[in-house]
Amino acid sequence: MIEERNYLLHPTYIMLGMLLAGVTALFLGFSGAYLYSRIQNNLEPLELPILFVFNTFILIIASYILIRAKQYYKSDDTKKYQISLGLALVITFVFLISQLIAWNQLYDQGIFINHSNMASYLYIISIIHFAHVIFGIPFLAIFLY
């Protein structure tokens, strides 16, 4: 007979929390290193394609939609919950496509990952974020269906 355990916090929540803490530390570390390098070496910022700004707004909108989805879930409004998750999934794909186009624009400007320290940080941070978003898609899809 298998004994059922009651956890104060389920182990999957602990693992998810540790994963998010690790990803957050990674972003903060690279962002801090970027700022340190830029200030210490008195480097000029890169001229970013406007799509990077657009993507920032996309992420803010997606975050808002996911917060609303959580509220709909807690209030047991299944229809609005599913609509919110579906919209977040669509916005996620818009972000990914837009990010690919933005990298292509950097490439067309001659800004490669080995172009400068600033370019390296930009590519590393945006690639890690791109991967983070891709790895979140299956979970979003599971909750949607």
Q: What is the pLDDT of residues 16-66, one digit of tens each?
A: 889 889 988 998 999 899 889 889 988 888 888 999 999 999 999 999 999
Q: How many domains does the chain have?
A: 1
Does residue 55 fall inside a structural domain?
yes
Kindly report whether the global pTM for this prediction surpasses the value 0.85. no
**Burial class of 13 by CB neighbour count within 10 A (0 to 12, 13 to 18, 19+):** exposed
How many degrees, rounded to 5, is the angle at CA 80 between CA 96 and CA 85? 20
| Contact call for residues 5 and 106 (beta carbons, < 8 A) | no
Residues 64-80 have a mean pLDDT of 96
Does residue 57 fall inside a structural domain?
yes
User: Whole domain around residue 58: which residue ranges?
Assistant: 47-144
Does residue 16 fall inside a structural domain?
no
Per DSSP, 99 falls in state H
Q: 86-114 pLDDT, tens per residue?
A: 999 999 999 999 999 999 999 999 999 88
Does residue 1 fall inside a structural domain?
no
Does residue 14 fall inside a structural domain?
no
Q: How far is CA 84 from the centre of its chain?
A: 17
What six digits make up the tokens of 20? 């998010």
Q: 111-145 pLDDT, tens per residue?
A: 998 888 888 989 999 999 899 899 989 989 998 88
Residue 103: Cβ within 10 Å count: 20
Does residue 12 fall inside a structural domain?
no
pLDDT above 80 for 14:
yes
List of residues 6+ apart from 95 with CB closer than 8 A:
55, 58, 59, 62, 133
Does residue 68 fall inside a structural domain?
yes
Does residue 5 fall inside a structural domain?
no
